[in-house]
């Protein structure tokens, strides 16, 4: 007899995991997460590493930087004019800041150098260039609903809808 397919991590399944994330030997995060498998909703290297696991199974998944948040990109370190910041804006070195460009886009950057006229901003993801080590246990697997498959992700209320354009109607009601 075939094994119950809904106990195995696979495409179109909603998977619940508990994980510990360690970077360079330092524990960064310990949490649980539910996601739709096969749609790129979690970092690719982790998704690949979880495929085929059964409920209750544990695996250590090493994800190289290129399969996580990408390699560190020196071109993402830019210099902007200090006058681009509001006069009363406190520029704190080394701390992620939420910034808004002239077109209104919100992005995150870290000031890495400040001079009288310019600010050097590192726009790389804080985890860029870093290998991630996950210790993951599969807590549950269930089939996705039609709606989840249509959207290619799970819904946790409006916040998950706003993030991409395919959820304009009906998804928050």
Measured CA distances, 77 to 12, 72, 113, 129, 165 (Å): 38, 10, 10, 14, 29
- The residue among 37 and 151 lying less far from Zn ion, judged by its C-beta, is 151
User: Edge-to-edge strand order for the sheet containing 96-100?
Assistant: 77-81, 118-122, 106-114, 96-100
| Beta strand 106-114 pairing with 118-122 | antiparallel
Q: Is 119 helix (H, G, I), strand (E, B) or coil?
A: strand
| Rounded CA separation 40/34 (Å) | 13
Question: Does residue 98 contact residue 59 with C-beta atoms inside 8 Å?
Answer: no
Q: How far is the CB of 57 from Zn ion (least distance, A)?
A: 29
Q: Is 149 in the site for Zn ion (CB under 5 A)?
A: no
- The site for Zn ion, by CB under 5 A, has a size of 4
- The residue among 30 and 145 lying less far from Zn ion, judged by its C-beta, is 145
Q: How far is the CB of 151 from Zn ion (least distance, A)?
A: 4
Q: Which of 16, 171, 172, 173 binds Zn ion (CB under 5 A)?
A: 171
- The residue among 37 and 130 lying less far from Zn ion, judged by its C-beta, is 37
Q: Which of 151, 168, 169, 173 binds Zn ion (CB under 5 A)?
A: 151
Q: Which residue in the shown chain puts its C-beta closest to Zn ion? A: 167
H-helix or E-strand containing 15?
Answer: strand 13-23
Tell me which stretch binds Zn ion (CB under 5 A): 60-68, 73-81, 95-103, 149-157. Answer: 149-157
Q: Is 154 in the site for Zn ion (CB under 5 A)?
A: no
- The residue among 127 and 171 lying less far from Zn ion, judged by its C-beta, is 171
Q: Is 36 in the site for Zn ion (CB under 5 A)?
A: no
Q: Is 167 in the site for Zn ion (CB under 5 A)?
A: yes
- The residue among 36 and 136 lying less far from Zn ion, judged by its C-beta, is 36
| DSSP3 helix / strand / coil % (the chain, rounded to 5) | 20, 40, 40
Residues of this chain that interact with Zn ion (CB under 5 A) are: 151, 161, 167, 171
């Amino acid at each position: 007899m075939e094994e119950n397919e809904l106990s195995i991590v696979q495409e179109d399944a909603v998977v619940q995991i508990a994980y510990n994330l360690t970077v360079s030997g330092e524990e960064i995060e310990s949490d649980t997460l539910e996601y739709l498998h096969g749609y790129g909703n979690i970092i690719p290297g982790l998704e690949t590493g979880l495929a085929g696991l059964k409920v209750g199974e544990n695996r250590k998944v090493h994800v190289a930087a290129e399969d996580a948040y990408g390699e560190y990109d020196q071109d993402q370190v830019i210099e902007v004019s200090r006058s681009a910041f509001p006069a009363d804006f406190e520029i704190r070195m080394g701390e992620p800041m939420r910034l808004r460009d002239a077109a209104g886009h919100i992005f995150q950057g870290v000031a890495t150098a400040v001079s009288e006229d310019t600010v050097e901003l590192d726009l790389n993801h804080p985890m860029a260039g870093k290998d991630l080590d996950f210790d993951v246990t599969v807590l549950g697997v269930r089939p996705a609903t039609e709606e989840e498959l249509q959207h290619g992700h799970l819904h946790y209320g409006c916040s998950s809808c706003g993030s991409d354009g395919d959820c304009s109607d009906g998804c928050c009601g």
